[in-house]
Structure 1
């Protein structure tokens, strides 16, 4: 099992943040199926102010490229991603078009 930590920012609007969180209390079943079907074992998202922090635990054979290709071919995932982008914005230093950015581990005890 491999763990990835990713970050993303939300737009600084309390109404939009509340809507974003509400969507994550009722994630579409197609999105859950896409996540678990790609080799992701667990996923958690935390928020502080506008900063989001995601922890993903994945199977050894998980690939971000494979997941991205499957997601690109899945109309429901594309619909979800377009909806989520209404609330999200890239973090400083993200590459153009990049949403969630993988964080570097700098310490472990």
Structure 2
């Protein structure tokens, strides 16, 4: 199993942040299925202010490029991502077209 930690910001608007959280309390079943089918075993999103932190634990067979390609051809995932995009803003150091930015581990107690 491998762990990925990623960050993204939301637009600095309490109403939009509340709406974003509401969508994530009732994620569409097609989105959950696409996550699981890709080999993502667990996914958690945390928020402080407008900064989001995602932890993904994935199987040994997980392929991020394959997940991105499958998402691009899945109409429900495309619809979800377009909807989520209305709430999100890129981190200043994100690459063009990059939403979630991988975080670098700088400390581990048990390593």
**TM-score when normalising by structure 2:** 0.97
Q: Secondary structure at the match of 2:79?
A: helix
Task: Give the distance between the partners of 2:53 and 2:90, measured in 1 at CA.
Answer: 13
* CA–CA separation in structure 2 for the residues paired with 1:105 and 1:59: 19
> Which residue matches 1:65?
65
The count of aligned residue pairs is 109
1:82 aligns with 2:71: no
* Cα distance in 2 between the residues matched to 1:36 and 1:3: 15
Matching residue of 1:3: 3
How far is 1:25 from its partner? 0.4
Say whether residues 1:94 and 2:83 are aligned partners. Answer: no
Instruction: Deviation per CA, 1:19-39: give whole Å up to 9, x if none.
Output: 000000000000000000000
Segments of 5+ residues of structure 1 without an aligned counterpart are none
Root mean square deviation, CA, Å: 0.4
Note the 1:15-94 alignment, pairs <5 A. 15-94=15-94
Show structure 2 runs of 5+ residues with no match.
none
TM-score (norm 1): 0.99
Runs (4+) off by over 2 Å: none
Structure 1 position 92, deviation (Å): 1.8
